[in-house]
Structure 1
Amino acid sequence: MTRKLAAVAGGIALTGGLLAGGASTAGAVEVTPTAASDCPSGWYCVWAGENYTGRMQKVEGNNADLIGFSVFQGFKSRYQHGKNCDFKCYSEKNYLGSSGVIKRGSKLTGSATHFIKSNKWVNCV
């Protein structure tokens, strides 16, 4: 199991260990973007603020534990920019708790705060 976390702020990059699904590499990256279009193809991205503002984190691959990624624990905007799969998110680590599926291309922004503690990519075509 490999985990990749890169924090890009002031030129700092960290590496750790998120599980990759199949042959892909999982990872989360933090940057300060300005729009939903900053989310690269193949990733699920969340922003701390409304209208895709503030700190962004993005994830690729299946991840049993997203608790260490602060923006996933309180975000107001999201963009599901997956290439071939829908994004299934869970309210607890290890794919437990309540869950929901977010379709490819789905965007959401508003004043409500959301969180994700684990995820899988599903319904791949």
Structure 2
Amino acid sequence: MTVKRTAKRIGTGVAALALAGTAFSGSAHAAASDCPSGWLCVWSGTQYSGWMQKVQYNNADLSQFTVFATDTDSIYNNGESCDVQLYGGKNYTNLIGTLERGRKLSSGGTSLKILSNKWVNCS
């Protein structure tokens, strides 16, 4: 493979990651204050500790993200104008409940699986 072709493939991969980062993002540091305005954030640990994953928009399938799929112990709806419905199944099935805008929850050590989310009650 030529250097030019390799550089093009790397550039394409970086661009794809940058686009993916507009809807999903994760980090190893954690605090509820790290959740940006307009996002739903979840953490792998209690009291907003451990690995943080954040998401915007409606998402029919969050199973590719470990914190959502297996390890959610803390949740913060930092949405700007909407509540968020959380589902235990893909494609908005198995409603867990609705988390109001600005609301934070920490499970106390019981992990929750969230496989889809939908923004609702927008003002």
TM-score, normalization by structure 1: 0.77
Tell me the distance in 1 between the aligned counterparts of 2:42 and 2:101. 14
Q: Where in structure 1 do 4 or more consecutive aligned residues deviate above 4 Å?
A: none
Tell me the distance in 2 between the aligned counterparts of 1:16 and 1:68. 16
SS where residue 113 of structure 1 aligns? coil
The residue identity in structure 1 corresponding to 2:120 is: V
1:78 to 75, 80, 86: 75
**Which has the larger Rg?**
2
CA RMSD in angstroms comes to 2.0
Deviation at 1:115, TM superposition (A): 1.5
The residue identity in structure 2 corresponding to 1:84 is: S
Q: Does 1:47 align with 2:35?
A: no
Partner of 2:119: 121
Tell me the distance in 1 between the aligned counterparts of 2:98 and 2:47. 21
More helix by share: 2
Deviation at 1:15, TM superposition (A): 5.4
Tell me the distance in 2 between the aligned counterparts of 1:82 and 1:67. 21
Q: Deviations over 1:8-44 (max 9, x none)?
A: xxxxx83577xxxxxxx6x110112331000000000
Partner of 2:11: none
More strand by share: 1
1:89 to 40, 61, 86: 86
Deviation at 1:56, TM superposition (A): 0.5
Structure 1: runs of 5 or more not aligned: 1-12, 18-24
SS where residue 14 of structure 1 aligns? helix
Deviation at 1:103, TM superposition (A): 0.2
Structure 2: runs of 5 or more not aligned: 1-15
Tell me the distance in 1 between the aligned counterparts of 2:72 and 2:28. 14
SS where residue 83 of structure 1 aligns? coil
Aligned positions, number: 106
Q: Does 1:105 align with 2:108?
A: no
